[in-house]
């Protein structure tokens, strides 16, 4: 690794000049010379018509074989694209017995039909699907960066990676040359900020071509943990840097590295306004120009995404008692001001475009330039940190009792480059710190790591251990579910307590919102298909603050509509943020403003404009409902997907400990008096915790009943045959499966 | 006709408001901005109605909330 400055930069000092950073391209020719071409296959490049190429690419790393597949009309009708295509390919590639590290497990990347247009913000997303090492069920991730759209503009609607290579390889799809190559690549370091830069330089024809190259990579952390993520690069013209966006959840980076994949590279054509060859471009431009004006005129008085990204939420969540502090025990902290949006407003380089796809005026992929790395193998290097976004600030910092922006940048940087999911890492780090607090862990058990709340250096050392495959970091990298088992087997703590405080469902770590005081959000997390990620439903304000969901039926309706509406983004290659992180000036005057009706209308317009098929707001839900139910049945096929798998840890439902109860005693006592009908007077805190728990768990169970009913599932959470028939997905194998489970 | 569940009890209407159904002490000249500050509602994507009348965002500093009012502060969704 070289630490010399970039060629156009005189120094790697602490200056916050956004063009200054350490360069990693020295030795590139030596690395290139060590490559060995294992397979070279010509293909005919093509451009999509109305959003589809009608073909996809299958790569078998075991057999070293590349095959083109037809995309069928049935695939489009039922699965649409993106996540839907990924799930369908994965279903066909695997059996119920396939484990995450079996060769037949796949990584599928599919952008969706709308992906790649440039007239509307947030339209460059790729969807990644695989069997997760954490959950043993399908995981799906929605990620920015250029890989998916460029792949599509080379001529493929999806890429399936199956099998395992014998040595480290890179799979290169070169559209302009019409060739696919698999190359052995022994010398490049796997860490993403290094590898993305090297491969961008190696596979572009020159500096003018860097923007047409995207690299997908993981990192050393993915080699030794179950929480590996994938980094999708996009070339930042102003910074002259390969920026990174994360397909974060569920260990997709772990699967990637297990296949001995060092990287996927795509080189596409120069992006033009209509490579998607849409049915009605004017229709898209019309709504695109309206929302772009909204963002221009209103963002600074609304969410300020263009200056702060999602980091604007840090102090908001703190103010509403929703910021996870110390493993979700508490919801706010006096030191939140140190990691709040005003800090990032200054740290982020302002005034340059930060979109992760062309034409995105929301431009929220903020970068903190000039960070001098403090620890580990890149100590002393000057790097650009992609973020922090809200999830990173909340998870890596507040949830671990760390309120220092420099340490947050450090952990954010290393999680990214090591290919480690910041959300899972933040939540599991919070868990082990609470285990330390409660004596479940100590220095002897952690190999000397002092996991006291707020110990940022110990957090970093645990992450470096994870990347080196050493010590306690390896245990932590297995995720909370495995840690609970290991700790219990070692007799280190009470399994019941660990189950209560270990914030995972289905094996996936929670993302960073407090759901204790919102029953709807408890369901919004635990009733998800893939595990507790907020991208299905974020209902806390509607439920807890607005009090718009007073009944089980109202909550169930929200837990029907919002997960389906948001699933649709993943079918089409869209970002969720321009839906409701900007709102039209007259949104307040609309019926159902929480749905942002004008933007829903926009999505109908762009979907219709791309495909030529009329998409209504009802059809959006209908399209999603097919795929959502299919994914539930996929879980069922793998031995999950039932009521027992939707049960949350009690920490997400109510107060586990005396300290937690007493921190909100007024709220809990009031609820006991007014809702439960029990006088808290004279009761011990332990007694009040037990009474509250019984009440809240009973309500969660009733919520499940209402949601399953609304979704057309049995009381055990199984889609019924009648539901499959209504949705037009009564495929024989699905019907047979649900029947076996009482559906 | 039943009482509006969002309104304060009749006995309290000279001294209190209801904000999203919860009581809040009222004072003379209290504006929408004061209500938001009292509730620590710092989120920006809000829709505020006072006794069913929509209050434009630009008027939060000037709109005076009468005693006994039923104030609804709808928080939209963002993030993620």
Residue A14 has pLDDT above 70, yes or no: no
| Domain-embedded: residue B2 | no
To the nearest whole Å, the CA of B52 is away from the closest chain A CA by: 12
Question: How many residue contacts between A and B have a Cβ separation below 8 Å?
Answer: 68
For position A13, what pLDDT does the model report?
37
For chain A, say whether B79 makes contact (Cβ under 8 Å).
Answer: yes
Mention every residue, 6+ apart, whose C-beta is less than 8 A from residue A684. Answer: none
CB contact under 8 Å between A316 and B43, yes or no, is yes
| Domain-embedded: residue B70 | yes
Strand partners, A170: A183, A263
Q: What is the pLDDT of residues A323-352, one digit of tens each?
A: 999 999 999 999 999 999 999 999 999 999
Pairing of strands A169-174, A261-267: parallel
Mean pLDDT computed over every residue of chain B: 88
| Domain-embedded: residue B62 | yes
Q: What is the mean pLDDT of residues A436-462?
A: 98
* Dist CA A608 CA A339 (whole Å): 42
Q: What percent of chain A has pLDDT over 90?
A: 96
Mean pLDDT computed over every residue of chain A: 96
Q: What is the mean pLDDT of residues A550-557?
A: 97
What SS3 class is residue A647? coil
pLDDT band at A7 (very low <50, low <70, confident <90, very high): very low
For position B79, what pLDDT does the model report?
62
Option in B21, B76, B78 nearest A593 (CB): B76
* Dist CA A250 CA A357 (whole Å): 24
Q: CA-CA distances (angstroms) from residue A526 to A509, A573, A643, A707? A: 11, 25, 10, 12
Option in B21, B54, B78 nearest A303 (CB): B78
Residue B5 has pLDDT above 70, yes or no: no
What SS3 class is residue A538? coil
Q: What's the structural domain count of chain A?
A: 3
| Domain-embedded: residue A277 | no
Residue B5 tokens read as 């569940």
For chain A, say whether B21 makes contact (Cβ under 8 Å).
Answer: yes
Q: Is the domain of A540 the same as that of A466? A: no
To the nearest whole Å, the CA of B79 is away from the closest chain A CA by: 6
| Domain-embedded: residue B8 | no
| Domain-embedded: residue A548 | yes
pLDDT band at B80 (very low <50, low <70, confident <90, very high): low
CB contact under 8 Å between B79 and A534, yes or no, is yes
List of chain B residues whose C-beta atoms are within 8 Å of the C-beta of residue A593: 47, 74, 76
List of chain B residues whose C-beta atoms are within 8 Å of the C-beta of residue A142: none
* Dist CA A40 CA A43 (whole Å): 10
For position B77, what pLDDT does the model report?
82
| Domain-embedded: residue B7 | no
CB A539 within 8 A of CB A546: no
Nearest to A133 by CA among A479, A395, A476: A479
Strand partners, A215: A265
Q: What percent of chain A has pLDDT over 70?
A: 98
Which of A450, A484, A509 is the endpoint of a domain? A509
pLDDT band at A12 (very low <50, low <70, confident <90, very high): very low
pLDDT band at A152 (very low <50, low <70, confident <90, very high): very high
| Domain-embedded: residue A389 | yes
* Dist CA A105 CA A164 (whole Å): 10
- φ, ψ dihedrals at A267, nearest 5°: -120, 115
* Dist CA A441 CA A435 (whole Å): 5
CATH number of the domain at A682, please: 1.10.599.10
Residue with tokens 């979109």: A355
A10/A415: higher pLDDT: A415
| CA angle, residues A300, A302, A303, in degrees to nearest 5 | 85
Q: Is the domain of A481 the same as that of A527? A: no
Containing domain of residue A101, as a range? 28-267
- φ, ψ dihedrals at A38, nearest 5°: -95, -30
Mention every residue, 6+ apart, whose C-beta is less than 8 A from residue A476. Answer: A225, A428, A429, A432, A462, A465, A466, A483
Residue with tokens 């024989």: A732
To the nearest whole Å, the CA of B54 is away from the closest chain A CA by: 8
Strand partners, A174: A179, A267
Distance of CA A304 to the CA centre of its chain: 22
| Domain-embedded: residue A310 | yes
What SS3 class is residue A540? helix
| Domain-embedded: residue A13 | no
Q: What is the mean pLDDT of residues A148-155?
A: 98
Angle between helices A83-93 and A552-572 (to 10 degrees): 80
For position A5, what pLDDT does the model report?
38
* Dist CA A660 CA A673 (whole Å): 18
Option in A315, A538, A594 nearest B80 (CB): A538
pLDDT band at A247 (very low <50, low <70, confident <90, very high): very high
Buried b (16+ CB within 10 A) or exposed e, A543-554: bbbbebbeebee
* Dist CA A85 CA A112 (whole Å): 8
For A385-397, the DSSP string reads EE---HHHIIIII
Residue A671 tokens read as 């609820």
For chain A, say whether B64 makes contact (Cβ under 8 Å).
Answer: no
| Domain-embedded: residue B10 | no
Option in A535, A546, A581 nearest B78 (CB): A581
CB A39 within 8 A of CB A64: yes
CB A136 within 8 A of CB A634: no
To the nearest whole Å, the CA of A121 is away from the closest chain B CA by: 16
Residue A552 tokens read as 């089980």
B62 burial level (CB within 10 Å; 0-12, 13-18, 19+): exposed
Q: What is the mean pLDDT of residues A467-496?
A: 98
Other Cβ atoms less than 10 A from the Cβ of B40: the count is 11
Residue A678 has pLDDT above 90, yes or no: yes
* Dist CA A371 CA B11 (whole Å): 60
Nearest residue of B to residue A310, measured between CA atoms: B79
List of chain A residues whose C-beta atoms are within 8 Å of the C-beta of residue B42: 315-316, 319
List of chain A residues whose C-beta atoms are within 8 Å of the C-beta of residue B54: 588-589
| Domain-embedded: residue B39 | yes
Option in A310, A534, A541 nearest B75 (CB): A541
* Dist CA A625 CA A565 (whole Å): 9
Other Cβ atoms less than 10 A from the Cβ of A597: the count is 15
Nearest residue of A to residue B42, measured between CA atoms: A316
CB A689 within 8 A of CB A646: no
Which of A457, A480, A509 is the endpoint of a domain? A509
Can you give the three-state secondary structure of A325-373, one letter per residue?
ECCCCECCCHHHHHHCHHHHHHHECCCCCCCCCCCCCCCCCCEEEEEEC
What SS3 class is residue A39? strand
Option in B20, B43, B79 nearest A538 (CB): B79
Whether the CA torsion A81, A579, B50, A543 is positive or negative: it is positive
- φ, ψ dihedrals at B47, nearest 5°: -125, 120
- φ, ψ dihedrals at A277, nearest 5°: 45, 65
CB contact under 8 Å between A593 and B74, yes or no, is yes
Q: Is the domain of A654 the same as that of A526? A: yes
pLDDT band at A514 (very low <50, low <70, confident <90, very high): very high
Option in A313, A315, A547 nearest B79 (CB): A313
For position B3, what pLDDT does the model report?
45
* Dist CA A38 CA A168 (whole Å): 11
What SS3 class is residue A251? helix
For position B14, what pLDDT does the model report?
79
Q: Is the domain of A252 the same as that of A156? A: yes
Q: What is the pLDDT of residues A168-220, one digit of tens each?
A: 999 999 999 999 999 999 999 999 999 999 999 999 999 999 999 999 999 99
What SS3 class is residue A232? strand
Q: Is the domain of A427 the same as that of A544? A: no
A29 burial level (CB within 10 Å; 0-12, 13-18, 19+): exposed
CATH number of the domain at B62, please: 3.10.20.30
Q: Is the domain of A595 the same as that of A469? A: no
Q: Is the domain of A466 the same as that of A528? A: no
CB A707 within 8 A of CB A527: yes
| Domain-embedded: residue A286 | no
Containing domain of residue B39, as a range? 16-75
Q: Is the domain of A57 the same as that of A184? A: yes
CB contact under 8 Å between B44 and A587, yes or no, is no
Residue B2 has pLDDT above 70, yes or no: no
Q: Is the domain of A537 the same as that of A630? A: yes
Residue A516 has pLDDT above 60, yes or no: yes
Q: Is the domain of A260 the same as that of A389? A: no
Q: What is the mean pLDDT of residues A678-688?
A: 98
| Domain-embedded: residue A272 | no
Q: Is the domain of A433 the same as that of A545? A: no
Strand partners, A42: A179
List of chain A residues whose C-beta atoms are within 8 Å of the C-beta of residue B23: none
* Dist CA A468 CA A466 (whole Å): 6
Buried b (16+ CB within 10 A) or exposed e, A204-216: beeeebbbbbbbb
State which H helix or E strand residue A411 sits in.
helix A405-418
ipTM of the predicted structure? 0.89
Q: What's the structural domain count of chain B?
A: 1
Q: How many helical (H) and strand (E) elements, i.e. helices and strands, does chain B have?
A: 1, 5
Q: What is the mean pLDDT of residues A113-131?
A: 98
A228/B79: higher pLDDT: A228
| Domain-embedded: residue B80 | no
- φ, ψ dihedrals at A41, nearest 5°: -130, 125
To the nearest whole Å, the CA of B42 is away from the closest chain A CA by: 6
* Dist CA A88 CA A69 (whole Å): 13
* Dist CA A160 CA A57 (whole Å): 6
Q: What is the mean pLDDT of residues B57-68?
A: 96
CATH number of the domain at A380, please: 1.10.569.10
pLDDT band at B7 (very low <50, low <70, confident <90, very high): low
Q: What dihedral do alpha carbons A678, A680, A684, A685 form, nearest 10°?
A: 100
Nearest to A512 by CA among A716, A310, A669: A310
Q: CA-CA distances (angstroms) from residue A600 to A21, A618, B79? A: 41, 10, 17
- What strands, in cross-sheet order, belong to the sheet with B22-25? B22-25, B16-19, B70-75, B46-50, B53-55
Nearest residue of B to residue A536, measured between CA atoms: B80
CATH number of the domain at A248, please: 3.60.9.10
Q: What is the pLDDT of residues A624-669, one digit of tens each?
A: 999 999 999 999 999 999 999 999 999 999 999 999 999 999 999 9
């Amino acid at each position: 690794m070289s630490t010399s400055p970039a060629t156009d930069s005189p120094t790697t000092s602490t200056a916050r000049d956004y063009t200054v950073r350490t360069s990693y391209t020295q030795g590139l020719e030596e690395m290139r010379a060590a490559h060995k071409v294992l397979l070279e296959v010509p293909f005919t490049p093509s451009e999509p018509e109305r959003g589809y190429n009608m073909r996809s690419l299958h790569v078998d790393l075991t057999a070293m074989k590349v095959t083109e597949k037809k995309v069928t009309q049935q695939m489009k009708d039922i699965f649409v694209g993106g996540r839907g295509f990924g799930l369908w390919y994965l279903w066909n590639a695997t059996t119920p017995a396939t484990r995450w590290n079996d060769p037949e497990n796949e990584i599928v990347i599919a952008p969706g039909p709308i992906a790649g247009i440039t007239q509307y913000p947030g339209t460059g997303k790729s969807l990644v699907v695989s069997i997760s090492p954490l959950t043993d069920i399908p995981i799906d991730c929605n990620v920015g960066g250029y890989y998916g759209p460029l792949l599509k503009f080379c001529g493929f609607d999806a890429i399936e990676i199956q099998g395992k290579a014998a040595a480290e390889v890179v799979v290169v799809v070169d559209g302009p040359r019409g060739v696919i190559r698999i190359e052995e690549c022994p010398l490049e370091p796997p860490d993403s900020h290094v590898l993305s830069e090297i491969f961008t330089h190696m596979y572009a024809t020159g500096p003018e071509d860097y923007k047409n190259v995207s690299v997908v990579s993981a990192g050393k952390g993915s080699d030794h943990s179950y929480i590996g993520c994938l980094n999708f690069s996009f070339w930042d013209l102003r910074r002259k840097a390969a920026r990174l966006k994360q397909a974060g959840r569920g260990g997709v980076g772990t699967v990637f590295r297990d296949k001995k994949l060092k990287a996927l590279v795509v080189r596409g054509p120069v992006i033009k306004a209509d490579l998607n060859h849409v049915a009605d471009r004017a229709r898209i431009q019309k709504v695109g120009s309206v929302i772009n004006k909204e963002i221009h005129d209103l963002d600074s008085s609304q969410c300020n995404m263009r200056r702060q990204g999602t980091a604007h939420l840090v102090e908001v969540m703190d103010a509403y008692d929703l910021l996870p502090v110390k493993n979700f025990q508490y919801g706010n902290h006096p030191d939140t001001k140190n990691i709040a949006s005003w800090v990032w407003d200054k740290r982020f380089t302002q005034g340059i475009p930060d979109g992760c796809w062309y034409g995105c005026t929301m431009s929220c992929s903020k970068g903190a330039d000039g960070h001098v790395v403090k620890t580990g193998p890149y100590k002393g290097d000057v790097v650009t940190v992609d973020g922090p976004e809200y999830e990173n600030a909340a998870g890596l910092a507040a949830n671990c009792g760390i309120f220092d922006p420099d340490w947050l940048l450090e952990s954010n940087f290393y999680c990214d480059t090591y290919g480690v999911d910041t959300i899972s890492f933040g939540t599991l780090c919070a868990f082990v710190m609470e285990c330390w607090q409660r004596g479940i862990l100590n220095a002897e058990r952690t190999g000397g790591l002092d996991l006291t709340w707020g110990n940022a250096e110990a957090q970093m050392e645990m992450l470096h251990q994870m990347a080196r495959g050493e010590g306690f970091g390896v245990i932590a990298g297995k995720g909370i579910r495995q840690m609970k088992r290991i700790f219990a087997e070692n007799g280190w703590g009470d399994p019941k307590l660990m189950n209560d405080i270990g914030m995972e469902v289905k094996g996936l770590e929670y993302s960073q919102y407090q759901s204790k005081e919102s029953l709807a959000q408890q369901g919004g997390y635990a009733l998800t298909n893939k595990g507790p990620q907020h991208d299905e439903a974020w209902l806390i304000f509607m439920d807890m603050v607005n009090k718009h969901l007073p009944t089980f039926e109202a909550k169930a309706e929200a837990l029907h509509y919002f997960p389906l509406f948001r699933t649709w983004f993943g079918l089409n290659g869209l970002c969720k943020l321009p839906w409701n992180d900007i709102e039209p000036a007259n949104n307040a005057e609309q019926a159902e403003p929480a749905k942002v009706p004008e933007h829903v209308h926009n999505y109908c317009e762009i979907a219709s404009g791309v495909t030529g098929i009329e998409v209504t707001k009802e059809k959006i839900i209908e399209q999603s409902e097919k795929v959502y139910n299919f994914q539930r049945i996929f879980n069922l096929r793998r031995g999950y997907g039932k009521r027992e798998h939707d049960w949350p840890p009690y920490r997400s439902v109510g107060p586990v400990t005396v300290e937690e109860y007493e921190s909100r005693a007024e709220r809990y006592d009031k609820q006991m008096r007014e809702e439960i009908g029990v006088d808290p007077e004279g009761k011990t805190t332990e007694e009040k915790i037990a009474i509250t728990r019984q009440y809240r768990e009973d309500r969660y169970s009733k919520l499940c009943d209402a949601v399953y009913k609304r979704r057309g599932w049995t009381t055990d959470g199984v889609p019924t045959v009648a539901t499959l028939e209504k949705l037009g997905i009564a495929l024989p194998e699905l019907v047979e499966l649900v029947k076996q489970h009482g559906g | 006709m039943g009482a509006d569940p969002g309104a304060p009890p009749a006995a309290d209407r000279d001294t209190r408001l209801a904000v999203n159904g919860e009581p809040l002490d009222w004072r003379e000249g209290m504006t929408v901005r004061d209500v938001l500050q009292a509730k620590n509602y710092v989120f920006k994507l809000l829709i505020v109605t006072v006794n069913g009348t929509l209050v434009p965002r630009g008027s939060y500093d000037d709109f005076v909330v009468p005693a006994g009012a039923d104030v609804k502060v709808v928080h939209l969704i963002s993030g993620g």
